[in-house]
Structure 1
């Protein structure tokens, strides 16, 4: 079913709730990425006994849960992620961003839908942790299960390799957005105080580059899993952090990426405050 036919059966977006959901969602995403960056930095320099092997988003949720009033805090973050997911889905199906129905527009709307589904699953997993259902499958092990099943299919190695190339493409696009300045597309930079504007803009650029590096490493690990027909080589952010840590000057590399991800989280707060949220379909 085409996106246009789906959107025709959905109610029109109401400006206030779309705007509120977007801002709450961006704030929750900022919290998650700031914690990912902080914990990765601690793991890089062995502060507080942190391990880079546990630094996926599920690890961040467990960290929140272990804090005083952890269940309440995690529930708030989960609610924010639900808001983010719903905002992305309205962008996909109601076309709030006026992307259109040509190939480029459909591609972007599919990207919004994919982002919405990913963060919807993250919210679901965090709510399960709030109510005490920890589960045995983390994000990385789920990816390994998927890769293991694909490798058993005809042309499975090619499929896994293609997924890896697509993930690298996402990473390169993040870096392109940073270097081209497109990450500022909808941000009202004129409203940011002059004395902090340069720092905020630079933090966003650094953050998107760091996120692109992590996506690129994840894609590389998928390709490595395909070439070696070994599902354990694949994984998510924690595997990427382990890969960095094991490289020459690994602690410094991981520390730099960690600071970049923290900057990305800070920039999500900036977006929540200053981004123009399109609400008309």
Structure 2
């Protein structure tokens, strides 16, 4: 029964309310990445701040009609997460595509939960605190260090995938059309820069998780904010951080194009 519904959702109902809302999820993701990029770039310029999704969402909430925007954003994330979940049960999907869809469903579901929490005034947990708590929980389980290490290696694999997808421009396969040569060139540039920058940041997060496993210290596991701090301490760190911030903003702009032209 679930398969039939999923098939119907993919068979010629383009433009319906669910698809429109799901595309809205890509648009909201774009706004979120632009805010994140601005925050990361500010850190690179020495202005301080926390580079995590909760901070970016809180910034959106502080804008005029911010709470309304947050609720609309949460609904868009829920719609996109549900769309990805339906892909898990869609007939004809390969196992790897089902796995990717399941991962995206979890990601957008988590974003929806965080957005709703902030809209309700309960705030969101600091990204590094979430990472440390997650690593600590895993570390206390049997073979915990290996589990944390596996998570770290998985994140690194995801980082490599992002860089590869950006460098080879495979992200263009996600788009049904790009509306003309000029727009195609802009989308190609934004997607390339955005995916590579996200991959670089994810790679640092993966290394930090792996280091936490090697040292048996869950406090070494960090999220994006910790990755930015690590980059900041490297040679030429401020420049690297600013470039990552620009990359996140580029990914956000690419997400606007994806909201319009994504293959759904």
TM-score (norm 1): 0.85
Q: 1:204 aligns with which of 191, 197, 207?
A: 191
Alignment correspondent of 2:103: 114
Q: What's the secondary structure of 1:12's corresponding residue?
A: helix
What do residues 32-72 of structure 1 show as CA deviations (whole Å, max 9, x unaligned)? 111111111112103xx442xx2110111111122222212
- Aligned pairs, number: 260
Aligned partners of 2:18 and 2:64: how far apart in 1? 31
1:252 aligns with 2:248: no
Q: 1:88 aligns with which of 84, 87, 98?
A: 84
RMSD of the alignment, in Å? 2.0
Query: Following TM superposition, by how much is the alpha carbon of 1:83 offset from its aligned partner in structure 2, in angstroms?
Result: 2.1
Q: Which position in structure 1 is the counterpart of 2:23?
A: 23
- Is the partner of 2:174 in helix, strand or coil? coil
Aligned with 2:114 (options 122, 125, 132): 125
Q: Distance in 2 between matches of 1:235 and 1:159?
A: 16
Contact 1:36 1:55 survives alignment (8 Å): yes
Shift of 1:189: 4.5
Contiguous gaps of at least 5 residues in structure 1: 100-104
CA distance in 2, matches of 1:152, 1:81: 32
Retained in 1: the 8 A contact 2:81–2:109? yes
- Contact kept? 2:127, 2:225, Cα under 8 Å: no
Corresponding residue for 1:41? 41
Q: Please report how far the alpha carbon of residue 259 of structure 1 lies from its aligned counterpart in structure 2 after TM superposition.
A: 0.5
User: Which shows bigger deviation, 178-187 or 32-41?
Assistant: 178-187
**Deviation of residue 269 (structure 1)?**
0.4
How far apart are residue 247 of structure 1 and its match?
Answer: 1.1
How many angstroms apart in 1 are the aligned matches of 2:155 and 2:33?
Answer: 19
Is the contact between residue 12 and residue 94 of structure 1 (CA under 8 Å) also seen in structure 2? no
Structure 1 Cα separation of the partners of residues 176 and 100 of structure 2: 23
Which residue is 1:12 aligned to? 8
Distance in 1, matches of 2:51 and 2:169, equals 29
Cα offset, 1:196, TM superposition = 4.2
Of the structure 1 ranges 256-265 and 199-208, higher mean CA displacement relative to structure 2 is found in 199-208
1:270 aligned onto 2:250: no
Residues 1:69 and 2:93 are matched in the alignment: no
2:145 matched residue in structure 1: 157
Asked whether the equivalents of residues 22 and 79 of structure 2 are also in contact (C-alpha less than 8 Å), the reply is yes
1:179 aligns with 2:167: yes
> 2 CA distance for matches of 1:131 and 1:18?
24
Q: How many Å apart are 1:13 and its aligned residue? A: 1.4
Aligned partner of 1:223 among 200, 210, 226: 210
